[in-house]
Amino acid sequence: MTDYVQGTPIGRLDPTGNPVLQFQNLSEVERYGAEGALQVAIVTNLILRTSASYVRGRDLDNDDNLYRIAPLRGDVRLEYRLGGWQSRAEVQWATRQSGTSRYNGEPETPGFALLQLETGYRFNRHLMALVGMENVLDEHYADHLGGINRVTGSDVAVGERIPGAGRFVYVSANIAF
């Protein structure tokens, strides 16, 4: 692949001492990956769904990894439906990302797994109510694509990955018309 655009460091630092990135065309890169999904009806009202994706990217000019490429990641979900009720339990996961860009000074990210729960009721074809909880176990994690802090004076150190959301509960009503 040619003319791949990536943020690359230029000869200037930001106020925090990190290199400023500028979009630049890389003349020769290699990218490949795979994704897959599987759905199995365990019993009439219980479905198992799972998916995974993997991407690999190399900057062949600089013998380096491409910047901001996600690690192997996926999810496993159990869904139950009975009449108007529907519920799901899901684990979203990502492996450790060690294939980072040396040229960009990109830090590695550890893997993580998050538990999500949701239940809801469909009253009719127009109205549905849901309640759920994300990150049920309140795991501290940082998604590899979530960004890096460049702001001084925050709770996250400069140069560290921005953490993902902690545990939270939501309620929603969906109206279709």
Whole-prediction pTM: 0.83
* Secondary structure (3-state) at 72: coil
**Mean pLDDT, residues 76-80:** 98
* Cα–Cα–Cα angle for 147, 160, 149, rounded to 5 degrees: 50
Distance separating alpha carbons of residues 72 and 46, to the nearest angstrom: 27
What is the per-residue pLDDT for 35?
A: 97
Please report how many Cα atoms fall inside a 13 Å half-sphere around the Cα of residue 168, on the Cβ side.
5
What is the per-residue pLDDT for 139?
A: 96
Give the containing element (helix H, strand E) for 116: strand 112-122
Tokens 């009721």, located at residue: 121
Q: Which tokens in the block code for residue 42?
A: 């365990």
What is the per-residue pLDDT for 146?
A: 86
pLDDT tens figures, 35-59: 999 999 999 999 999 999 999 999 8
Q: Which tokens in the block code for residue 4?
A: 């791949």
What is the per-residue pLDDT for 4?
A: 80
